[in-house]
Structure 1
């Protein structure tokens, strides 16, 4: 089975896998250009997560409105 086909381990509360590894990594050896590239990459990932969160929230609202019991 390829790595892409395996289910990914979901993060538990307080454990965000790669993000916690990045947060604990020393930045001392990075140049300014490398730090700028890293910031750009992380900002792009934040945008991707926010977009996905928005879609998930909209999906949840649609499901709630469809399945919410009718008020008398």
Structure 2
């Protein structure tokens, strides 16, 4: 019934305000970011493997 409902962000944005988050919410953010870091590392690894395969294919 409020004119403006407070909406929690669904993801983490670098530099976002964290002062009002509970310890539990901060732990959730850390977990979210750790999962994202692992996803990014896996993508980097996969791209490196693809590049190595391409380099090997074009060596004469």
Paired residues for 1:1-72 under 5 Å? 22-68=13-59, 70=60
Kindly state the Cα deviation for residue 46 of structure 1 after the two structures are TM-superposed: 0.4
Structure 1 segments, 4+ long, off by >4 Å, are: none
Q: What secondary structure does 2:19 align onto?
A: coil
Which structure 1 residue ranges, 5 or more long, are not aligned?
1-20
Shift of 1:67: 0.9
How large is the Cα RMSD of the aligned pairs?
A: 1.3
Q: What TM-score do the two structures reach when normalised by structure 2?
A: 0.74
Which gives a bigger RCO, structure 1 or 2 (Cα 8 Å, sep 6+)? 2
Higher normalized helix content (fraction of residues): 1
The whole-number CA distance in structure 2 between the counterparts of 1:45 and 1:36 is: 14
Structure 2: state its 5+ residue gaps.
1-11
Size of the alignment, in residue pairs? 49
